Structure 1
Amino acid sequence: MKITVLASGSKGNCICVEGGSGTILVDAGISNREIRRRMAEAGADAGDVEGLFLTHEHSDHIRGADVFCRGSGVPVYGTEGTLGGLGGTLKKPGALSMHAVLPGAEVACGDFFVTAFRTSHDAAEPSGFCIREGDVTVGVCTDTGMVTSGMLSYLKRCDAVILESNHCPLMLAEGRYPAFLKRRIADRERGHLSNPAAAAVLRELCDGLSHVVLAHLSEENNTPEKALATAHEGVGLYAGNLDVGVARQHTISDSFEV
């Protein structure tokens, strides 16, 4: 599989996963035009997309879903809660082919097999995904205030992960955000994963991973340098064997293959 994060952050999220004979997208939080432009920049063909998997219904994850999928006939997958939240944003309800996925159940999409798992965020029924093709599995776990033992059990199946590393706790505490927003971001039940929390997850996973992409970094309360440094501290002696990168908001990430 070839993975490219097309966009990641509070202004829009989209991940492109290319397999041997097809492609799937995880989230479509940038415009249809921008999805297609960034896919072309990454060397991917929008005409090869076999399915769009949505982690949750917030606008920075679904903004381009309606137009992209209506225009191409691409089916949309997500939990019942996510699809219910998406429904109110559609210009032509019923025009999309939508398929509810149950957390823990594997869904076939082309040559991919995708399993959703529950995450912890202020959305109706948010999820992460394990995406398998052949004997390779990639995990996507963003927009979650914590990673539970159950979530870890899914991520431990993976050869590579795209993992949230949203904020530096000190930058958040000392930053200009109002107190209620700081509490929301730091909330373990419904918020976003901090750099130290992401590093603790990687400490549990690093023995079995080849690639990590740190995702959904706050432009206000984090820096790529801080996220990378904390992640490298977390993986310790495994740092030399693990390719760790950072996904960006305004440009595509470096693609990697697993």
Structure 2
Amino acid sequence: MARELERLNVEVGQLDALLITHEHADHVAGAGILSRRHGLPIYATAGTWQSLPSKFGAIDPAFRRVIEPGQNFYIGAIDVMPFAIPHDAAQPVGYAFEGRGAKVAVATDLGCLSEKWIEPLAGCDLLTIAPSLLAELQATEGYLPRKLDTAKAASAAVDKITVDEATFARMHAADRMASEKLAEGIAGFTKALETLEAMLSARLKELEG
């Protein structure tokens, strides 16, 4: 985790908290160490806390935050909404963040889509989701209460979305379907990673039209 922060040019001192989606090793590695070294609170569901691997280490009760799916909380001025997701873990969640007129959500391990699962994703200015679900997500706008606000996306300088190969590989290393889709060429486009960028950019243009 420390290496990832360094790669992103983010100092540990800039962090306010650590949010855990579920207990799998590729999602919690280094979180315990960062919390102990820098006094960072950790947010996770009760099921996740109970299922953390032993090597995660002990966390001071003062830094343990137990959250409930569907019950929002604040970190500074950011409104955080944890939402339940279907995944092979104890009590996994995704997170939606709202603040300063923007909404961002993270649901990289969302295994399938239904109205229940995508409701928290509606109205996002930026969304991180498994690429294997892009086509399915695009087909759900009939019952989404809000659509992607392209004006906000543009003002936030995310009208052009890019993905680098290293980040993509790390985010979806445990997602065999995503890896296969990448190898085949997502949604029938070319096999290059520019495919994902092209799909998202095309979607933004459609909404603008």
TM-score, with length taken from structure 2: 0.71
* Structure 1 residues 139 and 117, CA gap change in structure 2 (3 angstroms): same
The equivalent residue for 1:189 is none
Deviations 1:85-138 (A, max 9, x none): 127444335466111111111111122211001100110001111011221110
Q: Which has the higher helix share?
A: 2
Say if 2:36 is the partner of 1:36: no
- What is the letter of the counterpart of residue 182 of structure 2? T
Q: Which has the higher strand share?
A: 1
- What is the letter of the counterpart of residue 200 of structure 1? E
Correspondent of 1:202 among 138, 153, 162? 138
Q: Retained in 2: the 8 A contact 1:107–1:115?
A: yes
Q: Retained in 1: the 8 A contact 2:23–2:53?
A: no
TM-score, with length taken from structure 1: 0.59
Deviations 1:122-166 (A, max 9, x none): 10001111011221110111212212212211100311100012x
Q: Retained in 2: the 8 A contact 1:203–1:235?
A: no
- What is the letter of the counterpart of residue 226 of structure 1? G
Say if 2:17 is the partner of 1:51: yes
* Unaligned residue ranges in structure 2 (runs of 5+): 190-194
**Quick one: higher RCO (CA 8 Å, sep 6+), 1 or 2?**
1
How many residues align structurally?
Answer: 178
Q: Which moved more, 1:201-210 or 1:69-78?
A: 201-210
Q: Retained in 2: the 8 A contact 1:139–1:158?
A: yes
- What is the letter of the counterpart of residue 221 of structure 1? E
Between the aligned partners of 2:202 and 2:54, the Cα distance in structure 1 is 48
Between the aligned partners of 2:123 and 2:5, the Cα distance in structure 1 is 27
Correspondent of 1:221 among 157, 180, 185? 180
Between the aligned partners of 2:6 and 2:202, the Cα distance in structure 1 is 37
Between the aligned partners of 1:59 and 1:52, the Cα distance in structure 2 is 15
Between the aligned partners of 1:78 and 1:131, the Cα distance in structure 2 is 15
SS in 2 for 1:55: coil
* Structure 1 residues 83 and 199, CA gap change in structure 2 (3 angstroms): same
